[in-house]
A and B are shown apart, each in its own frame.
Chain A
């Protein structure tokens, strides 16, 4: 069977759904495919999202997917010093802890309501490429082989992407630029639902532990560890279990689910558009290397890719603009945070203690990496020089 479409979007995560929505809203005939049978499941995410960015993306906060709104964030050093960043008290925008499966399904529904088709349990198996043009994509939909003939392909197929290689783009990662992650949804714990908490240092080598509260003693307790620091199978889980055992406030609770995944902590790919093919989100390595956050960047890039793909099928040769457009929105922060991450992996526990103690003297009221890195430069100038930190 052959199926002709203007725009084929591979993957129905946030980046794919934003691509499909904006392509459809701008008049394109769109098909989005998702390899899983349920959009958004299983969750592979800590589920913290900044309010600021949602506003920028035009995504209206919706109680169906908001589990908790926090006032701010806390950063704990290895010895237990705590830096509290209270954005709500300063009148700044704060953050949400979301239910990612519902969030993803809401965005996919918006794409469908805008006119896009969605096939679930539909996996892109390979492509026929002539020159730089993807002519056909073979899709397995519940066992049926369908040849999709698209004018544009937007690959938002996640960390495990294989689509880039179809057109000769290299999305492979170095071991030092990967974090392996695991998280439990814990119930019956003692935490402060007003804050999202971060724990730095050797509890999570090259990464961090997060405790993102959903309220009423429920929180996502998760860890990311730099892949280069792992030595034995399931080390990541061992680090998380060890952290929980060390903290009675968490050890008293129980895990009711377990999610895992990996994120890139690299620079974004050098090239993300080729011919009629664009890469969006984790597949283009658009994850923030310092925070591991990827949803917002994927949505931003998807919005641009979707709009340009619709213009392209209406006759304007604009796909090449994608590269410049998403980079002008995102790249400066991504490069700065990549440099910061490269340094942060070598910061010792004693240095983390010093940094947090020094930051306690400053008032941090907007929870952005720019503000925090700026404060670090101000608080410990000698250490910043010693580590050759350049924010």
Chain B
């Protein structure tokens, strides 16, 4: 499994990924993004959509 991760050193907390998530797996707090891994389908939309490339599908092998 590839788990979605938000790189805190890049993230601007703009919420672009959150509103674009087709399964509503992301939540924007004041200064962090929460990923609900049970809901996330690892579709990768947020990975290409993030303006600064903060979202990655990594953390494990396929």
Given contacts A262-B16, A262-B19, contact A234 B24 (CB under 8 A): no
A159 at the interface (CB under 8 A from B): yes
Please determine whether B19 and A35 come into contact, CB atoms closer than 8 angstroms: no
Please determine whether B15 and A35 come into contact, CB atoms closer than 8 angstroms: no
* Number of A-B residue pairs at CB separation under 8 A: 96
Please determine whether B12 and A233 come into contact, CB atoms closer than 8 angstroms: no
Interface residue tally of chain B, by bracket? 20 to 34
- Complex Cα–Cα for A31 and B19 (A): 24
Given contacts A42-B12, A42-B13, contact A264 B19 (CB under 8 A): yes
Please determine whether A227 and B51 come into contact, CB atoms closer than 8 angstroms: no
A128 at the interface (CB under 8 A from B): no
B4 at the interface (CB under 8 A from A): no
Given contacts A233-B47, A264-B19, contact A165 B52 (CB under 8 A): no
Please determine whether A35 and B29 come into contact, CB atoms closer than 8 angstroms: yes
Q: Which of A35, A121, A237 interacts with B51 by CB under 8 Å?
A: A237
Report B28-59 CB contacts with A as 1/0, cut-off 8 Å: 11100000000000000101111111011000
- Complex Cα–Cα for A182 and B24 (A): 22
Residues of A in contact (CB 8 Å), total 36
Please determine whether A160 and B19 come into contact, CB atoms closer than 8 angstroms: yes
- Complex Cα–Cα for A282 and B19 (A): 10
A102 at the interface (CB under 8 A from B): no
Chain B residues near A162 (CB-CB < 8 A): 18, 24, 27
Q: Which of B22, B29, B50 interacts with A233 by CB under 8 Å?
A: B50
Given contacts A35-B29, A42-B12, contact A262 B24 (CB under 8 A): no
B2 at the interface (CB under 8 A from A): no
Q: Which partner residue on chain B sits nearest A262 by CB separation?
A: B16
Please determine whether A260 and B20 come into contact, CB atoms closer than 8 angstroms: no
CB within 8 Å of B: which of A235-278?
235-237, 258-262, 264
Report A190-204 CB contacts with B as 1/0, cut-off 8 Å: 000000000000000
Chain A residues near B12 (CB-CB < 8 A): 42, 258-260
Given contacts A165-B24, A232-B48, contact A160 B56 (CB under 8 A): no
Please determine whether B15 and A160 come into contact, CB atoms closer than 8 angstroms: yes
B27, B30, B51, B55 pick with most chain A CB within 10 angstroms: B51
CB distance from B43 to the nearest CB of A (A): 10
B interface residues with partner A (beta carbon < 8 Å):
12-16, 18-20, 22, 24, 26-30, 45, 47-53, 55-56
26 A-B pairs with CB atoms under 8 Å apart are A35-B28, A35-B29, A35-B30, A123-B29, A159-B19, A162-B18, A162-B24, A162-B27, A175-B22, A180-B16, A180-B50, A180-B51, A227-B45, A233-B47, A233-B53, A233-B56, A234-B50, A234-B53, A258-B12, A259-B14, A261-B14, A261-B51, A262-B16, A262-B19, A262-B49, A282-B19
Q: A159-B16, A160-B26 are in contact. List 4 more A-B contacts (CB 8 A).
A: A123-B29, A181-B51, A262-B15, A282-B19
